[in-house]
Amino acid sequence: MNSNFNNYLYGNQNYQRNYYTFVNGLEGAKSYPIMPNQSLMLMDSENPVCYMKSADNTGKPSLKCYKLVETTEQELSVKPVDPATQELKDSISAINKRIDDIIKLMEDKNVKSILPTSN
């Protein structure tokens, strides 16, 4: 066995692994080879985007593109509002406004309240 070969593989302790695969734009991501049943994250060297390239068991590739946006820890800790919850809040606000309008109208017409009053 060649002793230089062993030194080449194991002697260089300063070797750093590159965990990212860089491609040149969308066309580079589209043309990057991928094996069946494999998924890869490809970083664009030209734009702040990354691509998730996957292939099914027949080898047919699919590609999704994601924008990379810098954010702060505070922004990450804010939980997004569920649209259904926001819709419910908007409905409750509209009902409360309508009740306030009815009460004001009753007061303007000098109608006694039918609601119980606290003493």
Query: What are the sequence ranges of the domains in the chain?
Result: 3-66, 79-119
| Under-70 pLDDT residues of the chain | 1-18, 111-119
pLDDT at res. 106: 80
Paired with 54 in beta bridges are: 39, 62
What is d(CA 119, CA 115) in angstroms, rounded to the nearest whole number? 13
Residue with tokens 């007061």: 107
pLDDT at res. 17: 58
In this structure, are strands 49-55 and 61-67 parallel, antiparallel, or unpaired? Answer: antiparallel
Coil vs helix vs strand at 21: strand
**Residue 23 CB-half CA count within 13 A:** 19
pLDDT at res. 1: 47
Q: What is the pTM of this model?
A: 0.50
**72-92 pLDDT, tens per residue?**
888 777 777 777 788 888 889
pLDDT at res. 76: 77
Task: Answer yes or no: are the C-beta atoms of 26 and 12 closer than 8 Å.
Answer: no
What is d(CA 27, CA 10) in angstroms, rounded to the nearest whole number? 37
